[in-house]
């Protein structure tokens, strides 16, 4: 019965992603997978709160705004909301999360910790959460990619907090991992369903919110959280800066992210996403090794990642030049 309704074009849940200027897929594909990711969280967390009774208060201030973002993103997928409405919803959600889960009062990095003023802390926290929400959406353009980043990222956050007393933080990360893993089975190349904005924007927001919570509560330093999610953060940020330098219209759809460029070079979704999984695994291992390492070793890991990403980006550019010479 559910299958017939899902496949019925008249169903309100039957959302199709039609190829556009930033798409890498060729055929209309259902994009309501985000509902399958968020629904278990909505059901599991209240059950946890009522049965066990110790749902971390701080996550309520991440979960409720995340639900707002998810609902607005789903409505946008369904009805195409005005950008101003959706952005206003994101801003409101970010303010709720920032004031509920804690500002980024200190910025930690290898060997030091900088105490931030209130207004700078507020500003950087808001920008960080908004960017995480939207960059995750930007990077959700390849089969298995955003789901894979969530599985690697939230699993890493749970492992990193394993030796702390942050049991609630660990369980929430594992619940998210389990929820996305079920979706990823159907999203791995060739994808049968996409998560849509309802999934990608929400996961990006939760990733940002959890990393702020981790820093604020001294569970995981913010630079370690950024390391974990760096395959998305670095690609999206470098691509944005590159397009700004070229004076391109950054709000327009495009296919110039590094992962998109690899797919267009003929690598395809499966090969590209497996290479990206390898990068995610390296970042996970680096985070695990670096969190309790000496300052000197932490600096080494940071330099290693800079060299790794530089080599990766240069290699993509080299492959593009070689490809153009052969066509």
* Domain limits, the chain: 29-326
Q: What's the mean pLDDT when you consider all of the chain?
A: 85
Q: Tell me the mean pLDDT in the region 177-190.
A: 92
Among the ranges given (68-72, 99-103, 106-110), the one the predictor scored with the smallest mean pLDDT: 99-103
pLDDT at 10 over 50: no
Quickly state the pLDDT bin for 52 (edges 50, 70, 90).
Answer: low
Q: For residue 69, what pLDDT is reported?
A: 94
User: Cα 72–75–81 angle (5° rounding)?
Assistant: 85
pLDDT at 6 over 80: no
DSSP letters of 258-280?
HHHHHIIIIIHHHHHHHHHHHHH
Q: For residue 28, what pLDDT is reported?
A: 57
Q: Tell me the mean pLDDT in the region 180-208.
A: 91
Q: Tell me the mean pLDDT in the region 256-268.
A: 92
Q: Which of 181, 150, 185, 171 is nearest to 44 (CA)?
A: 171
pTM passes above 0.85 = yes
Among the ranges given (50-54, 191-195, 267-271, 312-316), the one the predictor scored with the smallest mean pLDDT: 50-54
pLDDT tens sequence across 139-157: 998 999 999 999 999 999 9
Query: Is-contact 121 103, C-beta < 8 A?
Result: yes
Q: Which of 33-42, 170-179, 232-241 ranks highest by mean pLDDT?
A: 232-241
Q: Report the C-alpha gap between 184 and 124 in whole angstroms.
A: 32
Q: Which of 310, 293, 167, 170 is nearest to 230 (CA)?
A: 310
């Amino acid at each position: 019965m559910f299958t017939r309704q899902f496949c019925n074009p008249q169903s309100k849940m039957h959302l199709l992603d039609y190829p556009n200027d930033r798409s890498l897929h060729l055929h209309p594909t259902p994009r309501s997978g985000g509902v399958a990711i968020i629904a278990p969280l909505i059901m599991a967390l209240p059950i946890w709160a009522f049965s066990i009774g110790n749902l971390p208060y701080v996550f309520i201030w991440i979960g409720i705004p995340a639900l707002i973002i998810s609902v607005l993103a789903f409505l946008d997928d369904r009805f195409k909301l005005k950008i101003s409405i959706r952005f206003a919803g994101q801003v409101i959600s970010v303010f709720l999360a920032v004031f509920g889960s804690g500002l980024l009062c200190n910025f930690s990095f290898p060997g030091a910790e900088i105490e931030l003023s209130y207004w700078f802390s507020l500003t950087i926290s808001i920008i960080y959460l908004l960017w995480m929400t939207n960059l995750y959406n930007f990077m959700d353009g390849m089969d298995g990619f955003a789901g894979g980043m969530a599985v690697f990222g939230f699993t890493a956050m749970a492992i990193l907090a394993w030796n702390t007393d942050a049991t609630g933080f660990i369980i929430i990360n594992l619940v998210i991992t389990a929820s996305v893993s079920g979706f990823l089975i159907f999203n791995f190349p060739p994808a049968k369903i996409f998560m849509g904005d309802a999934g990608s924007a929400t996961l990006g927001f939760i990733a940002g919110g959890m990393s702020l919570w981790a820093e604020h509560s001294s569970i995981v330093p913010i630079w370690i959280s950024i390391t974990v999610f760096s395959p998305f953060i670095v690609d999206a940020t470098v691509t944005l800066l590159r397009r700004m330098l070229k004076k391109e219209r950054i709000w327009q759809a495009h296919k110039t992210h590094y992962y998109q460029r690899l797919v267009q070079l003929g690598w395809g979704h499966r090969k590209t996403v497996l290479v990206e999984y390898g990068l995610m695994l390296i970042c996970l291992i680096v985070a695990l090794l670096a969190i309790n390492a000496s300052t000197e070793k932490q600096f080494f890991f940071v330099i290693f990642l800079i060299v790794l990403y530089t080599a990766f980006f240069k290699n993509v550019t080299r492959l593009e030049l070689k490809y153009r010479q052969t066509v």
